[in-house]
Structure 1
């Protein structure tokens, strides 16, 4: 149970949360508590029961009752982030960081008083800035005579996003621009920030034991033009819904903090595929996402290659900016295809317009005719059907184009059909490489020579290693940076859509 509200004032001053029925989130604290519980005999484990495990993580202190102090028995290195440079055998009263020592002593006292593990959370502050969230566990240990007189401890630290300043930012207008990047979009955010000569602004992201999230800026945003980069794809431990909720709450926090304008930059926008009713009583998820973003106070939404651009633009009452990565894909493929005869194929009729626009762009770059084709597809209750294929692909290198690759089934069906109809080389091209569920199996079984995606979705490193040489990821940082610069400075987005970013491959 959470008992901080009922505890003594000095504990409230030291900790933001105190649980006497702990459910740790961090790996270190969870491991220590599990070990304490499995080795418990009677009132508590003894030091001898836990010492072997402490050689790898955690720490233990022995009480010095006559001095109202505690002595480090083992794990000085593990506790150094809180106490500073200390050695085993030293006492808390000798630690360089006095506030850290007070926190440990108060927590140890409480754990020995109640005879059960106690878990606290608090924020580490350095030079007046919030630097990290700390989860700290203290569990009582028994001495040889059975009395409680030592403490097992462990600490999990989550560093907040506090990157070093980049080079001085060029003037982008009268207002100051601030940029955040949430979760796994941080790497992309850093690349965008570098393109603009900015540093990402620091923020805190914290996950509670029931998987609720807390996210907040760590700098003032009053009267600023704020951009928040967050792709809303699902990944291990973070679904698209999780990321959407986190983005909504963060935008709400920015508006509460007085931001003059907040732009949500979602390179991949989740729930965009359900943009119309195909069955009675169907939800229209694209519109609901729009209402949520509008409701928390977003001023603008930016995405890349929306599933249906018209539906995306019509869903929002705030400014909606639909970028596309086709210039990046076309320039890369024009270089790779060389003098080969080429065809562009849509894997379903719904994407035929997208594929045709791409075919025209590729034809211009190659300065020669590019053939086209399409595959028939019907999806119902998760099952895909339709075997009709039309197009001139015999003896040609084929580019199968779609906005995303999710389960891989649609692309794999189209690849098999193209090979059956005489394609000599098959390249899959998509902006968003989601690679969900059994995508790897489906694509590995298909006759595919190369897969080209962009980094709107953080690359899956394990997948990239297994597909080394076949999977190519193009960067969209320059495209996003130029769009943000134009939005901030009042430039033309239409021109950017026509030409793509400067310096694109």
Structure 2
């Protein structure tokens, strides 16, 4: 079993995509973050050197493939290759955000399935296991030929929503489109209230139009819009506008991944939103920090999963109510 004897000790390393989250994970587990030097050659090729012995260790590498996606993905692959050649017992790629996840099927002619390509690259580079958070499409787990542990931040976000003190009789969980109904239903199970759906119609490749609401009325109610990510915020803001047009007295937006690219910040800043809650799966730079954005940490969630993987325990137990980490981990 991992954690016994001199070898197989837990080691956590971080790429440059989200070091604060990796530091938070290491703090929860009470282990030091591994020592690794990352840099760029003059031509911007990535340079990696592991600065400590990892032979026979249980290694976890924290690296979301967020913006700039190609840079962070390539860095992850090079880090994995470096570790594969350093003879650890096991390498787990911890992906709080999985880039290219939206290209998960061939829905038209002559297009790639990039999510599968990325899975192949991560596996070939040396990962023995993957730990992911709120994949955009659950079937991406099947693209890997190695074990994948899929975490959900729904309980952490639901806990925050419950702390807002919204009366159950006034709470409406609003799915921003028909494709997100299942996620909204799972969220509603954790926060209560009733469910509604914003009817979204795509008018072009870049334009969408929201119209009607399907389900519970929102007039005079507090609406919570839930999705797995906010990218350009077109879908989210469209749902916000529909809720307001139908008389919602308060609108809250919740998502796991704050991708916030393109016109997202401008759209969110001009929309009538009481609060936007996202997790720290992707770092939030100063230029994207709106006054009404609340960041929820997933460090404890990921740390608990790492602890369970390290101890060969069930990760699915995390989705039941249980006390925080108390057991000791061999890190010497």
State TM-score, norm by structure 2: 0.92
Q: What is the CA distance between 1:243 and its match in structure 2?
A: 0.5
Q: Counterparts of 1:9-408 in structure 2 under 5 Å?
A: 172-174=3-5, 175-234=8-67, 239-309=68-138, 311-339=139-167, 341-363=170-192, 369-378=193-202, 380-391=204-215, 392-408=217-233
Alignment correspondent of 2:317:
495
> Separation in 1 of the partners of 2:106 and 2:64?
25
Matching of residues 446-485 of structure 1 within 5 Å: 446-464=271-289, 467-468=290-291, 470-485=292-307
Q: Alignment partner of 2:18: what SS?
A: helix
Larger-gyration structure (1/2): 1
Q: In 2, Cα distance between the equivalents of 1:502 and 1:493?
A: 14
SS at match of 1:400: strand
Match of 2:263 among 410, 429, 438: 438
Structure-2 separation of matches of 1:173 and 1:498: 27
Contact 1:373 1:393 in 2 (8 A): no
CA separation of 1:199/1:379 partners in 2, compared to 1, >3 Å: closer, same or farther?
A: farther
Cα separation, 2, equivalents of 1:483 and 1:229 = 13
Report the counterpart of residue 138 of structure 1 in structure 2: none
Query: Structure 1 pair 452/288, CA: closer, same or farther in 2 (3 Å)?
Result: same
- Aligned equivalents of 1:276, 1:462: Cα separation in 2: 33
How high is the TM-score relative to the length of structure 1?
0.61
Q: CA RMSD in A?
A: 1.8
Shift of 1:397: 0.5
Structure 1 residue matching 2:164: 3-state secondary structure: helix
Q: Return 5+ residue gaps in structure 2 as ranges.
A: 326-332
Instruction: Return the offset for 1:379.
Output: 7.4
Query: How far is the alpha carbon of 1:475 from its aligned partner?
Result: 0.5
Q: Distance in 1 between matches of 2:115 and 2:321?
A: 28
1 CA distance for matches of 2:158 and 2:35?
36
Question: Given the superposition, is the C-alpha separation of residues 407 and 202 from structure 1 closer, same or farther in structure 2, using an over 3 Å criterion?
Answer: same
CA distance change for structure 1 residues 500 and 404 in 2, over 3 Å: closer, same or farther? farther
Aligned partners of 1:225 and 1:259 also within 8 Å: yes
Judge conservation of contact 1:479–1:500 (CA < 8 Å) in 2.
Answer: no
* Deviation beyond 6 Å, 4+ runs, structure 1: none
Inter-partner Cα distance in structure 2 for 1:473 and 1:500: 23
Residues 402 and 501 of structure 1: CA distance in aligned 2, closer, same or farther (over 3 Å)? farther
Partner of 2:211, secondary structure, is coil
What secondary structure is seen at the aligned counterpart in 2 of 1:351? Answer: helix
